[in-house]
Structure 1
Amino acid sequence: MGNHEWTAGDTVMALRVVSEQSEKDILKKRAHDQLTRDLRRFAANFLRITSGSGKPLDLLRQTEKLTASLQAYAIAHDGALPTPRTVHQILDSRAALIEYRPWIKEVDEASRRRWEEDGTNARNDAVAGIIKAGLRMMASELVDQLTQHSTAESEFYEQIRRLEDVKEKSRRRHNPKK
Structure 2
Amino acid sequence: MRLVSDNSDADLAAGRARQELRRALRAVAANILRIVRGAGKPAELADQLDELQLAISAFQGVTGLPPTAEFSGMLELEEDRDVIRGLNGRNLREHLAVKQMVRGALQKAASNLAGQLTQERAGGTELFEGAIALEQVRDEWRRESGAGKGRPRPRK
For structure 2, the residue ranges without an aligned partner over 5 or more in a row are 148-156
Counterpart of 1:116 (choices 73, 77, 88) is 88
Q: Is the 8 A contact 1:42 1:62 kept in 2?
A: yes
With structure 2 as the length reference, what TM-score do the two structures score? 0.83
Q: Which amino acid aligns with 1:46?
A: I
Change (3 A) 1:16 1:162: closer
3-state DSSP class of the match of 1:21? coil
In the other structure, the counterpart of 2:14 is 28
Query: For residues 47-83 of structure 1, what are the alpha-carbon distances to aligned partners after superposition, in whole Å with 9 as ceiling and x for unaligned?
Result: 1111101100100000000011111111222133241
In the other structure, the counterpart of 2:54 is 68
Residue 89 (str. 1) matches residue 61 (str. 2) = no
Aligned residues: percent identity? 30
Q: Is the 8 A contact 1:127 1:163 kept in 2?
A: yes
Q: Using the alignment, how far apart are the partners of 1:67 and 1:139 within structure 2?
A: 22
For structure 1, the residue ranges without an aligned partner over 5 or more in a row are 1-14, 99-104
Q: Which amino acid aligns with 1:154?
A: T
In the other structure, the counterpart of 2:26 is 40
With structure 1 as the length reference, what TM-score do the two structures score? 0.73
Q: Is the 8 A contact 1:73 1:82 kept in 2?
A: no
Bigger RCO of structures 1 and 2 (CA < 8 A, at least 6 apart): 2
- RMSD of the TM alignment (CA)? 2.2
Q: Using the alignment, how far apart are the partners of 1:88 and 1:74 within structure 2?
A: 17
Q: Using the alignment, how far apart are the partners of 2:133 and 2:93 within structure 1?
A: 8
Q: Which runs of 4+ in 1 moved over 6 A?
A: none
Query: For residues 121-145 of structure 1, what are the alpha-carbon distances to aligned partners after superposition, in whole Å with 9 as ceiling and x for unaligned?
Result: 2112211211221121111111211
Higher strand share: 1
Number of matched pairs: 146
